[in-house]
Amino acid sequence: MENVIVPAYNKNEEEEKKLILREYRALLRALKQRIKKGDKRLLRRAFEIAADAHKDMRRKSGEPYILHPVAVARIVVEEIGLGVTSAICALLHDVVEDTEVTLEDIEHEFGERFAKIIDGLTKISNVVDLKADTTIQAENFRKILLTLADDPRVILIKLADRLHNMRTLGSMSREKQLKVSSETSYIYAPLAHRLGLYEIKSELEDLALKYTQPEVYTEIAKGLKETRRDRTRYINEFIKPIKEELQRNEFEFDIYGRPKAIHSIWNKMRTKHVAFEEVYDLFAIRIILDSTPEREKEDCWKVYSIVTNFYRPSPERLRDWISVPKGNGYEALHTTVMGPGGRWVEVQIRSARMNEIAEKGLAAHWKYKEGQPIQQESKLDSWLHHLREILNNPDTDTLDFLQDFKLDLFTEEMYIYTPKGDMRVLPKGATALDFAFDIHSELGAHCIGAKVNYRLVPLSHPLKSGDQVEVISSSKQRPSEDWLAFVTTAKAKSRIKYYLKEEKRRIADDGKGILQRKLEHLKVPLSQHNVAELCNYYKKSSPLDLYYAIAVGNIDLKELKDFAVHGDKISQPAREQKTEARRAHAEEEQVKQKPAKGAELIIFGESSDKILYKLAQCCQPIPGDDVFGFITSGEGLKIHRTDCPNAAQLLAHYGHRIVKTKWAKNKEISFLSGVRIIGLDDVGVIQKITNVISGDLKMNMRSLSIDSKDGIFEGNIMVYVHDREELDELCHQLASLDGITNVERFESSETK
């Protein structure tokens, strides 16, 4: 994909040959300690096959293509810490896809083990096409994850491949840069994170940012460069006393300051609404100890005690990932202390072993697992196990799964205990019901409540890290649709959806029976044609939906007598007259039919009798906002803002359920809207704000809450406005008040 074919003839051929060999030798050097008897021959063979297969190919940058697989192999060995097998597969990773070499050739030459990995690599190659049909995209994502559960090396080599492509993205077209970068931040960076490959994850994110938002990237990079000298001076000052004390205590260690990744600085600027100058933690201090596995925990705490003898720690920012490692295997002690000049500084303390796991994640994890007495199943293993379980469930809807799973990738973890004291890791925000599903699908399905720290709570109760939870279940309990609203884990969601579908199928069976009997009266069979004809007439997207609607009485089949019968086929009557049934199931249809094709739906801000709709709670649109209508499956038509956080997903996945929508001009109804203001706390500020709202603009305010801390106040105002124009005017006037630094609209549902 990323290569162009050029004639083999090239003046600099000799020079290039030298360069290629140099790179290959560097790979051998990196592998040195791990090369066993016979490995060298295999490596050489892989290199020769790849070099020969790619000999006429060049990358967009003009360099010989073979440099790419060699570079990928080096990343695999040097940065991920994998061995000879993976290096060989990396060398060969593009040959089956891009050249004449076949999988059989590989198997013949190297054996089945290698062929399997290469096959995996070929299958997932370039599959995440964001512009592709979302279903295909989701299926591909699932393929990647399945491979991961099968042999994680495939994913690790794929990550190395992606990293090298990102590092060399400069010579690609702008369009290609954007596509590859968004894929990278969409899937590869989160995967790297989940596998504990922190270095690679940060580099991928930084590079993706560099290409998707070049101005932002350059601004931060420039800022970092300009402040480097001050930073180095500060770090040295901070480190000095700690270093001396550690030496006095005869520790073997390494201590240094490490700048934060550009992407994470940008994240902070974005989420906290601050400028670069206001991000105070541009670096972290790292202390890496040479210690034995038996002593490392104790040693890390000793170092912690030394650090906090010099600098006061912030008690709520101590993270002990040594006693309880993160789900991806990460171990370390993190603390934030008050450094010289009153600046908060993060200090990370870990042993050399922990450091290797932090940098190389999964691979290092394997390395340390071998040769150790079998411990409890590591978290990463159980994560892979869990993944395999979900993926192998044939009824998982891939698209939904993709959404749910992505959420899992990004969320933080908390630790929940069973009544016996066993620990489970759940994403932050998980509820009692999530916990029940995490223990066992059946337990989740029959869960009626829980006791959290001995107190009875409902299913929807959100858990906190450290909670001890006892699940209460009943054999009579069944999962219901509303459960989906308060579970957050992919596992719980996919299991509930599965149960609901089963349930629907069971009910639909009755409907199928009813239909079959009715058709028998007409002396026609329940054939594919006849069912399709009925689905069409009753506007049902599948036979299952049709049977279900019949079973629950939404369709009574009265109109069946109007159908024409030709032999064993029925055909639907002409549809002029409005029949009973059509009205009965017409909430969706009404909306579809009212605005003629291509026309716009005009809404008035309040549901009229003609068209029923609701304003979406997630974005709370008001007249003047750009909006669209969305036909929901259970709640009729909903109006969303086009910049609603849910809009992209709705527009992308359900284009056919979108109704073009426009506001009617009227100023009779007012809408509750939220405005958040941030500014310097000063006497009379409330007075000034209320003056603008009630005095100048004569608006109705419903509530005003002010939270003030350290001289900064944050105010949330709920106010009634007629349309966007009024709201903009209000924001404008508030922003021009003295001392107000930030004014923005918000949706009340997002307030805490």
Show which residues are catalytic: 97-98
Helix (H) or strand (E) holding 5: strand 3-5
Characterize the bridge pairing of strands 413-417 and 423-427. Answer: antiparallel
Which ranges of 273-414 would DSSP assign to H, the alpha helix? 296-310, 352-360, 362-369, 379-392, 398-410
Tokens found for residue 208: 């993706």
Contacts of 12 (CB under 8 A, 6+ apart): none
Closest CB to Mn ion: residue number: 161
* Cα-based distances in Å from 639 to 603, 692, 726: 9, 30, 20
Tokens read off for 347: 């200090």
* 332 burial level (CB within 10 Å; 0-12, 13-18, 19+): buried
Rounded Cα distance between 256 and 155, Å, is 32
Q: Please give the full DSSP string across 170-205, using - where no structure is assigned.
A: GGS-HHHHHHHHHHIIIIIHHHHHHTT-HHHHHHHH
Sign of the four-CA dihedral 135, 140, 143, 144: negative
Smallest gap from residue 69 Cβ to Mn ion (A): 7
- Nearest-Å Rg of the Cα atoms of the chain is 31
Q: How far is the CB of 161 from Mn ion (least distance, A)?
A: 4
In whole angstroms, what is the distance from residue 205 CA to residue 192 CA?
A: 10
Residue 674 tokens, joined: 């939220």
CA 399, 400, 403, 407 torsion: positive or negative?
negative
Cα–Cα distance, 372 to 369 (Å, whole number):
6
Contact 716, 647 (CB under 8 A): no
Closest CA to 186 of 125, 138, 135, 150: 138
With CA atoms as reference, report the closest residue to 435 among 389, 487, 382, 485.
Answer: 487
Interface residues toward Mn ion, by CB under 5 A: 94, 161
Contact partners, residue 8, CB within 8 Å, separation at least 6 = 55, 56
> Smallest distance from the beta carbon of 239 to Mn ion, in angstroms?
41
Question: For every residue of 153-172, which 3-state class applies, written as one string?
Answer: HHHHHHHHHHHHHHHCHHHC
Using left for φ > 0, alpha for ψ between -120 and 50, and beta otherwise, residue 447 falls in beta
Shortest Cβ 384–Mn ion spacing (Å) = 24
For residues 159 and 200, the answer to whether their CB atoms sit within 8 Å is: yes
Count of alpha carbons within 13 angstroms of residue 482, beta-carbon side = 3
Calpha distance 214→44 (Å, rounded): 41
Q: Is residue 546 classed as helix, strand or coil in its secondary structure?
A: helix
